[in-house]
Amino acid sequence: MIHVSATPVEPANWQNLLASSITDPAELIRRLKLDPALLAPARAAGREFSLRVPEPYLARMVPGDPNDPLLRQVLPLGDELEEHPGYVLDPLGEQHANALPGVIHKYHGRLLLIVSGGCAVNCRYCFRRHFPYEDNNPGTAEWQNALAYIRQDPSISEVILSGGDPLAVNDRRLAWLVREVASIAHVRRLRVHTRLPVVIPQRVTPALIDALCGTRLPVTMVLHVNHANEIDSELGLAIRQMRQAGMTLLNQSVLLREVNHQIEQLIDLSEALGDHGVIPYYLHVLDQVRGAQHFHVDDAQARDLVGRMLTRLPGFLVPRLVREVAGEAAKVPLHVSLVTA
């Protein structure tokens, strides 16, 4: 398999890699030697939700293959512009749970901080692709309000750093925020939901690890990997560093048509995560966000796939199949029965 070579970016630190991400569909198509006919729909769909692909992620795609499972996650398609009943701007009703700028408080005991509206990659299926990040870009005063909100609610035992991607902010800001959260006695755990180490493994540095792990709080890092091809040696190294620092590593994936909806793809993904000591935590069915309906896999097929995984893998490598439902008290598990191949 020949992979596209990355354009050298000097020096290859994560900020430079982030800043040099591909945002022009013409460049993506040229670099991957794809059919130029893909350009017009990519430009049209990219006007609603822009293209963004960092070089280290591009380097794992196969040139000339329009069906590459990593490319499918990032290339804007004309399908995104079709209207489908039930596919809406805010499928999870998060704008109602947006307690304060930068704060989403949906579930008992856990609270989510929108640390950054930016992501290192724009995933076409993202349920927050229409989220009003411009209203959730807290400055210091807003952060003090968010921290005061946590302080006055002793039921909050876990704080989740989310986004966008929380690791898109610099280490100094992260370290400050983590220290402030750790100073609240009733907070017992810190969780980080991120895709940045997957698409730019160079994001995992000693300074990041110090920022996250430098307090009393145990840290759980929830990665977002959808396909085994996303796990290369650089991501493997980043995972090893995080594990050595004592973080618990979990993964959540989204079940996506033409990306990972085949049983062998899901098995390969779980095996590859297991090889690196990452526990597959959730497999989400697609949130019905406008523009993503072409990724839909129906519930019967989703249940069948996970039923097959149960008979092929050890239990700890089978993710829980869940759906997020606006207003529910937690993610809703989909019932799965064993399916023998």
If the CB atoms of residues 32 and 225 are measured against ligand SF4, the closer one turns out to be: 225
Q: 88: burial class by Cβ within 10 Å (0-12, 13-18, 19+)?
A: middle
If the CB atoms of residues 128 and 308 are measured against ligand SF4, the closer one turns out to be: 128
Sheet arrangement for strand 219-223: 103-104, 110-116, 158-163, 189-193, 219-223, 248-254, 279-284, 320-323, 332-333
Output the smallest distance, CB 230 to ligand SF4, in A. 12
If the CB atoms of residues 104 and 121 are measured against ligand SF4, the closer one turns out to be: 121
Output the smallest distance, CB 196 to ligand SF4, in A. 7
Q: Measure the CA–CA gap between 81 and 178, rounded to whole angstroms.
A: 40
Structure tokens at 98: 């947006």
Cα-Cα-Cα-Cα dihedral sign, residues 110, 116, 122, 128: positive
At 219 the three-state DSSP class reads strand
Cα angle 307, 310, 313; round to 5: 145
If the CB atoms of residues 106 and 195 are measured against ligand SF4, the closer one turns out to be: 195
Output the smallest distance, CB 164 to ligand SF4, in A. 6
DSSP readout, 143-183?
HHHHHHHHHT-TT--EEEEEES-GGGS-HHHHHHHHHHHHT
- Which parts of this chain interact with ligand SF4 (CB under 6 A)? 119, 121-123, 126, 128, 163-165, 195, 224
Output the smallest distance, CB 116 to ligand SF4, in A. 10
If the CB atoms of residues 87 and 210 are measured against ligand SF4, the closer one turns out to be: 87
If the CB atoms of residues 51 and 177 are measured against ligand SF4, the closer one turns out to be: 51
Output the smallest distance, CB 122 to ligand SF4, in A. 5
Output the smallest distance, CB 171 to ligand SF4, in A. 19
